[in-house]
Homo-oligomer: A and B are copies of this chain.
Amino acid sequence: MTIDNKTPAWRHQIIVVDREEMTIDGVLSLGSYDEKEVIMETEQGVLIVKGEGLNIKQLNLDKSNIVVEGLIKGVSYDDTSHNKKGLLERFLK
């Protein structure tokens, strides 16, 4: 049996530590990024991270992993733009 590191028992995980560092696994692509909002597509839909002074500390899409630091205000899944088309539509606004 081979172990595929890309598909562990959980496929998508978010860890927020002390509201200042956030590790997200199961990331498919980074949609957009500025200091107030990071939008990414994950295994479980489009994820929007809101905060202040946000900074992408690590990004490794081979490992489906992003680390964001900054003051985290909230995280939400955007079910209205679950697919790539939806993500694209956001960019075109």
Residues of A within 8 A of B (CB): 10-19, 26, 43-45, 50, 72-77, 79
Shortest CB-to-CB span from A19 to chain B, Å, is 4
Mostly, the A contact residues are: strand
Instruction: State whether A10 touches B18 (Cβ < 8 A).
Output: yes
Please state if A11 and B15 are interface contacts (CB–CB under 8 Å).
no
Query: How far apart are A11's CB and chain B's nearest CB, in angstroms?
Result: 6
Determine which of B16, B18, B73, B77 lies in contact with A19 in the assembled complex, contact meaning CB atoms within 8 Å.
Answer: B77
| Residues in chain B near residue A79, CB distance under 8 A | 73
| Complex Cα–Cα for A44 and B21 (A) | 13
* Chain B residue at minimal CB-CB distance from A13: B17
B residues less than 8 Å from A50 (CB atoms): 76
| B15 and A44 form a contact (CB under 8 A) | no
A73–B48 alpha-carbon span in the complex (Å): 11
Check A15–B18 contact: CB distance below 8 A: no
